């Protein structure tokens, strides 16, 4: 068991899975003054040794059950292939550790419900680590929306353009992602798409119904895709268009999907761009209202900033005894959104997320 609430001055965290995204996922934990990266774990012994030195952790494990049995660990971050999220979160809860799991939450809605129930029964914090909602230009856009800067929101339009290039990704990191048994869906619309669904829901509310068309490039990449939805709030609509351009080189520090989000309101528009890649040389956030453009050039806009701030949210949620963002329930709602997209494109019909139970 971790230490009881109230006695924690520093959260000692264990990282389970030390692969590609750990480079960014660790940023907030290394930087938070009241967090200590106490232990690292990976089945790859060389990797775990490398991370031990790189992050100045105290302990290394190759068996996550042994890390969970360590009484010096208060919380864990799970950065493993998706099929392991469900058993790892349940085991972490049973060991009394606060738990954050990278998105997508798991493979099915019953799994999501079991993860929520296990963490609730154990009385531990449960965070679904979805960092795009912490990207500072999205944060600012949300603030503007809430201030009524564009009047009543009408629609959101998410445009995703993926190319080739970007940072180096080991082949093994790609291989499990294009295997539906390991990933739970396709690499674009489910894996990376979890972020787009999260943004869509966070900005404009709960989804009422979905109609989607998805094709598969080279048999494995779930693009091009056109996904449309209606919100429960009447008269609000959403659209997400995803395209893979295999001949388009993207110079970027990270993955190559570039996104542009447009939110239309009764009195103006908001554009947010960049996030992961950088196709357009424009400010990350532009507001149009009253016949004037306002560009927000001074926001932190590195993709890594979203990971940093998302990590701080987990540590602060533990220290302040509050819910993290996203919660398990948020994660389940996004699983239902995904299942509605999947059923819509595979069965050619309009589907309501709330009817999704599988
Ligand atoms: N938020 C984002 O933008 C973002 C981006 C990329 C990946 N991710 C998510 O991060 C997670 C990890 O992705 P990645 O790209 O780092 O993958 P990866 O394959 O590079 O890393 C996964 C690591 O887990 C380790 N592992 C596998 N089984 C294990 C076990 N039983 N015990 C301990 N370690 C084990 C592997 O050896 C590997 O090092 C996934 O959930 C993925 O969707 C999120």
| pLDDT tens digit sequence for 16-62 | 999 999 999 999 999 999 999 999 999 999 999 999 999 999 999 99
CB of 20 closer than 6 angstroms to any ligand 1 atom: yes
CB of 276 closer than 6 angstroms to any ligand 1 atom: no
Q: Is the model's pLDDT at 5 over the cut of 80?
A: no
CB of 100 closer than 6 angstroms to any ligand 1 atom: no
Q: Which ligand 1 atom sits closest to the C-alpha of 183?
A: 43
- Hey, which CATH number is domain 11-131+307-326, 3.40.50.720, 3.30.479.30, 3.40.50.300, 3.40.50.1220? 3.40.50.720
Each domain of the chain, given as residue ranges in start order, spans 11-131+307-326, 133-302+338-347
pLDDT for residue 7:
61
SS3 27: helix
**CB under 8 Å to 27, separation ≥6 — which residues?**
304, 307, 308, 311
C-alpha angle 185-189-191 in degrees, rounded to nearest 5: 60
pLDDT in tens, 265-316: 999 999 999 899 989 889 999 999 999 999 999 999 999 999 999 999 999 9
Q: pTM score, two decimals?
A: 0.97
CB of 115 closer than 6 angstroms to any ligand 1 atom: no
Cα 211 to averaged position of ligand 1 atoms, centre (Å): 30
Q: Is the model's pLDDT at 6 over the cut of 60?
A: no
* Mean local confidence (pLDDT), 250-257: 91
Q: Is the model's pLDDT at 1 over the cut of 80?
A: no
pLDDT in tens, 174-195: 999 999 999 999 999 999 999 9
CB of 79 closer than 6 angstroms to any ligand 1 atom: yes
Q: Which CATH fold would you assign to the domain 133-302+338-347?
A: Dihydrodipicolinate Reductase; domain 2 (3.30.360)
What secondary structure letter does DSSP report for 131?
G
Distances (CA, A) of 244 to 55, 159, 172, 223, 249: 35, 11, 21, 6, 11
Handedness of CA 83, 89, 90, 94 (dihedral sign): positive
Angular region, 3: left φ>0, alpha ψ -120 to 50, beta rest: beta
pLDDT for residue 252:
84
């Amino acid at each position: 068991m971790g230490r009881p609430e109230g006695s924690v001055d520093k959260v000692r965290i264990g990282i389970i899975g030390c692969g590609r995204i750990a480079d960014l996922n660790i940023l907030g934990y290394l930087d938070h003054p009241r967090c200590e990266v106490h232990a690292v774990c990976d089945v790859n012994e060389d990797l775990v040794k490398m991370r031990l030195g790189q992050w100045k952790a105290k302990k290394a494990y190759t068996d996550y059950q042994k890390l969970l049995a360590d009484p010096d660990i208060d919380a864990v971050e799970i950065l493993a292939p998706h099929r392991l999220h469900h058993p790892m979160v349940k085991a972490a809860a049973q060991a009394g550790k606060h738990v954050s799991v990278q998105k997508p939450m798991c493979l099915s809605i019953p799994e999501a419900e079991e993860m929520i129930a296990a963490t609730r029964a154990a009385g531990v914090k449960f965070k679904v680590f979805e960092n795009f909602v912490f990207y500072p230009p999205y944060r600012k856009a949300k603030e503007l929306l809430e201030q009524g800067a564009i009047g009543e929101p009408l629609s959101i339009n998410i445009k995703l353009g993926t190319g080739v290039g970007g940072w180096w990704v080991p082949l093994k990191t790609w291989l499990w992602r294009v295997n539906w048994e390991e990933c739970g869906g396709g690499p674009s619309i489910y894996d990376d798409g979890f972020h787009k669904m999260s943004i869509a829901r966070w900005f404009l509310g709960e989804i009422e119904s979905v109609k989607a068309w998805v094709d598969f490039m080279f048999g494995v990449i779930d693009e091009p895709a056109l996904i449309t939805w209606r919100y429960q709030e009447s008269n609000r609509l959403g659209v997400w268009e995803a395209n893979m351009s295999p001949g388009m080189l993207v110079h970027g520090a990270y993955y190559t999907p570039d996104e542009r989000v447009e939110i239309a309101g009764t009195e103006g528009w908001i554009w947010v761009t960049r996030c992961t890649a950088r196709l357009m040389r424009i400010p990350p956030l532009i507001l149009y209202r009253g016949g004037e453009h306002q560009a927000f050039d001074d926001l932190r806009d590195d993709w890594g900033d979203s990971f940093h701030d998302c990590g701080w949210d987990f540590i602060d949620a533990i220290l302040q005894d509050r819910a993290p963002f996203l919660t398990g329930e948020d994660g389940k709602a996004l699983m239902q959104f995904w299942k509605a997209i999947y059923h819509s494109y595979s069965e050619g019909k309009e589907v309501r997320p709330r009817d999704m139970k599988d």
